[in-house]
């Protein structure tokens, strides 16, 4: 039961973080924002599945009510709703955390239950942001379905391909899209035979959903709209609210054909064929069909769908959808810097009101993309092969084995006895090739951190705009490569920390000028290698941390005692304590004290660590140390009796052999040792792990001081064996309940060594410690 709960909580937290990310990118103009949030909230509801305590349920009910309300009114987010969601996300995050740790729940704001008063002038909102687009007057709150497609399209032409999208991203997009489309086609074929097959429905729904997300990232709103409509139809079918018939399957196929045509065309254009040519897609027709199908249920006349299918082959000659053509074309003119519009584009161009604003907005982007294209041109031919990660991991495992087998051969005593220049040359060559092979295998999982960094530039831009600050983001070392998993895991902590820097670090322009600094603040995001780790720094030139203020706050919050003696580093570390916040006013972005502790948890989960340095008035630097890959760690090999254990080097502070008198007994059972003036409890590992051990007295063994977060503990082991890089392997589900080990590793002699879970050992409750010592 309890593991189930933690599973739910774990999944819920992920979705809540996604909601937070989604919220950061929402503004009141963006009518598509609500779909993303609605989807995530729906996911969250599904995950919780009624298992949640009533406090959380109240929060979920509230958000459901707001969203349903917005959907019913105009399917857009209002500023009231955004503010509420902004408050809600950290609230639910805190509530879920309370659930996890059985703490008291945050109070439920009473105001949340009342329905939102519709904002007086949603029309004004839309028009103001659309600016030059004369069409925007149409974008008012037109009641519903039939009008909706008409209403949405004109505004979409304003969307511009974001300047940070590059060819590489487009290529990845195409590769992934092709896979998704294949999934879609397979799923549809199954559905044709058995329209209620729930696993195909699910996979189809997921495929469209992912596709929607991808085109959303590329800012192709028209396609996103299409994917969204198909997705909602499948969602209805999945929930049993709608029965898929042959007509709806035809529509889905037609939709996937449209997407496929787009992707094929796009990859052709990336490869340089007909770059800049318009891609005409009969999307409004299809969306209309979906709507009429959904409205009429499964009994909808089959007359409509063929109409959607038919125009497609003929589309280039007679575009059935000038508005869409204009939108898609404008986007891609921007990307591919079309030398001359092709004749097919003419009908679309003749809609000046639509195409003009887009073209203007796109112009600065076009140049940049053109240079991008040139520099990336030689790479186009190389192509991308997508490989199942299971296969990849298998390969990496095997290579790891090969390296071990190789070292066993090279170090074989009988072989060593042979003195032959030829043999040693051959062995040397073997060693060279295996280590090359290992490096290549490892590099297969490596991706540059560029994409993650570039996402941050978008975030900084939005944050600066929202808060009226001037912030420049400078990126360094974007080509640094990391394990794919790590890059994924890093994204959320980085978002938190960048927000933190933008929100708390950088001052308002006036304050900066008054302090003699340039009005525009700078956040530097940098990545580099250092001693087997990847170091990521987030540096701002803002107001810096005030040790005195932090101290005062921590005492107020009861995190430390008033008379506690802490050095500066320890005081800075306090901002990672749960429930700490230095922001004087709580903004909707950060400052609720959830955040930095989560950041630290996430970083530690991937066996990294985080450090802060700051000079008051000059700025703050957060430094993250993360391993190159999740698969390999550098470990300190220690011996206890016959067994060997691995302690991750990153958590080892020091090791020494204690002298008599350094160890003090407490009540005859506990032991403490004074490490640099600090009394640190000793944990006798041999006893704790019930392993025969030789160091019966601390002075016969070695003390390894390990730290996790702010806590440290002395582990007593028999001997130090050495340092070694090990490939981490899971212990498997049989050992999922044990808390001592983080995994296992194959050691040089082929035996299995267990990797100690330092976090668990350091935070071990006193009861167990008393037993062990």
Partner 1 sequence: MTAHPSPHHSSHQGTTGALPGKYLTFTLSKESYGIPVLKVREIIRLCPITPVANMPEHVKGVINLRGKVIPLVDLRSKFCLPISADTERNCIVVTQIAAAAGGTRLYGVIVDGVEEVANFTAADIEPTPDFGGAFDSMFITGMAKSGTGVKTLIDLDKISAFDGTIAIQAPGLPSASHAS
CA–CA distance, 176 with 263 (Å, rounded to integer): 10
- Nearest distance, CB of residue 757 and partner 1, angstroms: 8
Nearer to partner 1, 187 or 505 (CB): 187
Among positions 346, 401, 654, 711, the unique one binding partner 1 when judged by CB under 8 A: 401
Nearer to partner 1, 592 or 713 (CB): 713
Stretch that binds partner 1, among 158-166, 574-582, 654-662, 686-694 (CB under 8 A): 686-694
- Nearest distance, CB of residue 48 and partner 1, angstroms: 18
CA–CA distance, 560 with 146 (Å, rounded to integer): 61
β-bridge mates for residue 707, sequence order: 712
- 644 is written with which tokens? 């060997």
Stretch that binds partner 1, among 277-285, 287-295, 341-349, 398-406 (CB under 8 A): 398-406
What would the x/- binding string for partner 1 be over residues 89 to 128, using CB under 8 A?
Answer: -----------x----------------------------
CA–CA distance, 753 with 742 (Å, rounded to integer): 11
Among positions 1, 3, 193, 667, the unique one binding partner 1 when judged by CB under 8 A: 3
b vs e for 530-552, b when ≥16 Cβ sit within 10 Å of the residue's Cβ?
eeebbbbbbbbbbbbbebeebbe
- Nearest distance, CB of residue 94 and partner 1, angstroms: 17
324: CB partners within 8 A, 6+ apart: 153, 222, 280, 281, 282, 283, 284
- 611 is written with which tokens? 């450090």
CB distance 473 to 540 below 8 Å? no
Q: Does 198 bind partner 1 (CB under 8 A)?
A: no
CA distances from residue 684 to 358, 402, 613, 743, 758 in whole angstroms, order as listed = 69, 36, 34, 20, 14
CA–CA distance, 239 with 562 (Å, rounded to integer): 57
3-state secondary structure of 396: helix
Among positions 183, 231, 257, 344, the unique one binding partner 1 when judged by CB under 8 A: 183
Stretch that binds partner 1, among 212-220, 304-312, 695-703, 747-755 (CB under 8 A): 747-755
Tell me which H or E stretch contains 519: none
Stretch that binds partner 1, among 179-187, 211-219, 471-479, 549-557 (CB under 8 A): 179-187
Q: Does 445 bind partner 1 (CB under 8 A)?
A: no
CA–CA distance, 63 with 84 (Å, rounded to integer): 9
What would the x/- binding string for partner 1 be over residues 623 to 652, using CB under 8 A?
Answer: -------x------------x---------
What would the x/- binding string for partner 1 be over residues 201 to 240, using CB under 8 A?
Answer: --x-------------------------------------
* Sign of the torsion angle spanned by Cα atoms 70, 71, 77, 81: positive
Q: Does 400 bind partner 1 (CB under 8 A)?
A: yes
Among positions 689, 703, 717, 758, the unique one binding partner 1 when judged by CB under 8 A: 689
Within residues 584-613, the interface with partner 1 by CB under 8 A covers 605
- Nearest distance, CB of residue 11 and partner 1, angstroms: 12
676: CB partners within 8 A, 6+ apart: none
Nearer to partner 1, 346 or 642 (CB): 642
CA distances from residue 576 to 298, 364, 563 in whole angstroms, order as listed = 55, 42, 20
- Nearest distance, CB of residue 598 and partner 1, angstroms: 15
Q: Does 364 bind partner 1 (CB under 8 A)?
A: no
Nearer to partner 1, 133 or 648 (CB): 648
Within residues 8-37, the interface with partner 1 by CB under 8 A covers 10
CA–CA distance, 621 with 615 (Å, rounded to integer): 9
CA distances from residue 595 to 107, 427, 610, 711 in whole angstroms, order as listed = 19, 52, 14, 20
Binding site for partner 1 (CB under 8 A): 2-3, 6, 10, 100, 183, 186-187, 190, 200, 203, 397-398, 400-401, 404, 605, 630, 643, 688-691, 728-744, 746, 750-755, 757, 759-760, 763-765, 767-768
């Amino acid at each position: 039961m309890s593991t189930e709960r933690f599973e739910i909580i774990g999944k819920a937290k992920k979705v809540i973080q996604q909601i937070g990310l989604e919220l950061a990118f929402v503004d009141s103009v963006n009518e598509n924002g609500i779909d993303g949030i609605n989807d995530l909230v729906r996911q969250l509801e599904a995950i919780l599945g009624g298992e949640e305590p009533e406090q959380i349920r109240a929060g979920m009910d509230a958000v459901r009510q707001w969203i349903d309300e917005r959907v019913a009114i105009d399917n857009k987010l209002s500023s009231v709703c955004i503010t509420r969601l902004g408050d809600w996300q950290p609230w639910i995050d805190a509530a879920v955390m309370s659930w996890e740790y059985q703490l008291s729940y945050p109070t439920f704001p009473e105001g949340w239950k009342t329905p939102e008063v519709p904002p007086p002038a949603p029309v004004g909102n839309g028009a103001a942001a659309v600016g030059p687009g004369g069409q925007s007057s149409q974008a008012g709150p037109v009641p519903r379905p039939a009008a909706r497609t008409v209403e949405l399209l004109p505004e979409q032409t304003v969307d511009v391909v974001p300047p940070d999208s590059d060819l590489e991203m487009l290529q990845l997009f195409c590769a992934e899209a092709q896979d998704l489309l294949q999934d879609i086609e397979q799923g549809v074929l199954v559905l044709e035979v058995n329209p209620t097959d729930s696993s195909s429905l699910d996979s189809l729904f997921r495929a469209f959903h992912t596709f929607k997300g991808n085109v959303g990232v590329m800012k192709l709103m028209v396609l996103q709209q299409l994917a969204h409509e198909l997705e909602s139809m499948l969602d209805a079918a999945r929930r049993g609210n709608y029965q898929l018939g042959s007509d709806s399957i035809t529509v889905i196929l037609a939709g996937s054909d449209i997407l496929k045509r787009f992707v094929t065309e796009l990859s052709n254009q990336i490869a340089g064929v007909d770059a800049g040519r318009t891609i005409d897609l009969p999307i409004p027709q299809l969306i209309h069909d979906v709507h009429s199908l959904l409205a009429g249920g499964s009994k909808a006349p089959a007359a409509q769908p063929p109409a959607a299918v038919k125009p497609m082959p003929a589309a280039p000659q007679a575009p059935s959808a000038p508005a869409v053509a204009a939108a898609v074309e404008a986007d891609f003119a921007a990307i591919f810097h079309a030398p001359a519009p092709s004749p097919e584009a003419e009908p679309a161009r003749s809609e000046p009101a639509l195409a003009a604003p887009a073209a203007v907005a796109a112009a600065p982007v076009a140049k940049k993309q053109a240079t991008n294209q040139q520099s990336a041109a030689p790479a186009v031919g190389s192509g991308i092969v997508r490989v199942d990660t299971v296969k990849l991991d298998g390969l990496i495992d095997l290579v790891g084995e090969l390296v071990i087998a190789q070292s066993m051969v090279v170090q074989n005593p009988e072989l060593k006895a042979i003195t032959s220049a030829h043999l040693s040359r051959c062995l040397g060559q073997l060693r060279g090739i295996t280590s090359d092979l290992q490096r290549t295998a490892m590099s297969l999982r490596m991706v540059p951190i560029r994409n993650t960094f570039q996402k941050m530039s978008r975030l900084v831009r939005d944050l600066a705009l929202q808060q009226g600050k001037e912030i420049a983001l400078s990126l360094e070392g974007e080509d640094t490569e990391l394990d794919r998993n790590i890059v994924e895991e890093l994204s959320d902590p980085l978002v938190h920390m960048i927000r933190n820097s933008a929100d708390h670090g950088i001052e308002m322009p006036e304050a900066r000028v008054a302090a003699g600094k340039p009005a525009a603040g700078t956040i530097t995001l940098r990545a580099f290698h250092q001693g087997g780790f990847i170091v990521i720094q987030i540096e701002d030139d803002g107001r810096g941390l005030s040790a005195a203020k932090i101290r005062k706050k921590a005492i107020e919050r009861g995190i430390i005692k008033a008379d506690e003696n802490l050095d500066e580093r320890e005081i800075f570390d306090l901002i990672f304590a749960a429930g700490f916040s230095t922001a004087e006013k709580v903004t909707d972005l950060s400052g609720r004290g959830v955040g930095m502790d989560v950041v630290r948890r996430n970083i530690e989960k991937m066996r990294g660590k985080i450090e802060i340095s700051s000079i008051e008035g000059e700025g703050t630097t957060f430094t993250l140390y993360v391993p190159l890959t999740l698969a390999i760690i550098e470990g300190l090999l220690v011996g206890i009796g016959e067994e060997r254990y691995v302690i991750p080097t990153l958590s080892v502070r020091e090791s020494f052999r204690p002298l008599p008198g350094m160890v003090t007994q407490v009540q005859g059972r506990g032991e403490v040792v004074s490490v640099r003036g600090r009394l640190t409890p000793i944990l006798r590992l041999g006893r704790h792990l019930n392993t025969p051990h030789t160091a019966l007295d601390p002075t016969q063994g070695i003390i390894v001081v390990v730290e996790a977060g702010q806590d440290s503990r002395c582990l007593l082991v028999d001997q130090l064996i050495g340092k070694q890089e090990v490939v981490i392997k899971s212990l498997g589900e049989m050992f999922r309940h044990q808390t001592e080990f983080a995994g296992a590793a194959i050691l040089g002699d082929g035996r299995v060594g267990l990797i100690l879970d330092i976090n668990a050992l350091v935070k071990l409750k006193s009861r167990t410690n008393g037993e062990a010592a």
